[in-house]
Amino acid sequence: MSYERPHDAADERLPSSNQPGAGPGRPRTRYHRIVSVTGPLQLIQAFANTLGTSPGPDELGTREEAAAWLRTAELLPAEAGLSNSEHAALLRLRESIRDVLAAHTGGREDAAAAARLTRALADGRLVLTVDPASAVRLASAARSSYPNLVAAIAVAIAGSAASGAWPRLKACSAPRCGQAFYDESGSAAVRHCSAHADSM
């Protein structure tokens, strides 16, 4: 089976987990506000890092800002917005992802964060679909935009977990940083983002 984004407008906009590059003929400059959203890991990382180092900017701070970011990331159709409750749920989703990434950094289990992330991802209403050609994929059972964007993030997490990359996606443990980074080291024991790698 393949891990792809949910149906509708989101289709074909991000490469699958097996295609880390932007793909032939697909200009990277398309993602002009977000650096290299080219695969599942980059999507999760970019989403987690919408909250800057503390004190810093929050790109999802208001409903309007969040909708604008999601549209740029091609997670939300141009005509769609976010309700207050969806905005609050989106922030809870990000917080739970950041907490789980921090647990990855610490090499520890965080049952509360894992439970919160599980609950937040349930909004995506993921199902497994089979089309007439017997192609199988994960998709949202919902038609509305919020469940579909949560499903896209859930599928990205599933894809990164399937490739073994998920435990290496971490949150920097430097004071007031918390930025998500990918640990490419052989030891998988890196605790700091590139900006703080030398200072620790």
- Tokens 């490469």 belong to residue: 15
Decide: is 177 part of the binding site for Zn ion (CB under 5 A): yes
What 3 state SS string does 55-96 have?
A: CCCECCCCHHHHHHHHHHCCCCCCCCCCCHHHHHHHHHHHHH
Which residue from 13, 89, 174, 182 is in contact with Zn ion, where contact means CB under 5 A? 174
Q: Cβ of 171: how many Cβ atoms within 10 Å?
A: 25
Question: Is 14 one of the binding residues for Zn ion (CB under 5 A)?
Answer: no
Our CB check for Zn ion shows the closer of 68 and 174 to be: 174
Q: Which of 172, 180, 190, 191 binds Zn ion (CB under 5 A)?
A: 172
Query: Looking at 20-28, 75-83, 85-93, 170-178, which segment touches Zn ion (CB under 5 A)?
Result: 170-178
Length of the chain as a residue count: 200
Give yes or no for residue 171 binding Zn ion (CB under 5 A): no
Site string for Zn ion, 50-89 (x = CB under 5 A): ----------------------------------------
Task: Read off φ and ψ for residue 169, nearest 5 degrees.
Answer: -85, 115
Provide, rounded to whole angstroms, the least separation between the CB of residue 45 and Zn ion. Answer: 13
Q: Any contact of residue 193 with Zn ion (CB under 5 A)?
A: yes
Smaller CB separation from Zn ion, 114 or 174: 174
CA 146 to CA 133: how far, in whole Å? 28
Shortest distance in whole angstroms from residue 170 CB to Zn ion: 10
Q: Is the peptide bond before 57 cis (omega within 30 degrees of 0)?
A: no
Residue 97 or 150 with smaller CB distance to Zn ion? 97
Q: How far is the CB of 198 from Zn ion (least distance, A)?
A: 11
Contact flag: residue 196 with Zn ion (CB under 5 A): yes
Burial of residue 47 (number of CB atoms within 10 Å: 0-12, 13-18, 19+): buried
Q: In the complex with Zn ion, which residue's Cβ is closer, 21 or 106?
A: 106
Burial of 177 (0-12, 13-18, 19+ CB in 10 A): middle
CA dist 29 and 69 (Å) reads 16
Give the residues lining the site for Zn ion (CB under 5 A). Answer: 172, 174, 177, 179, 193, 196
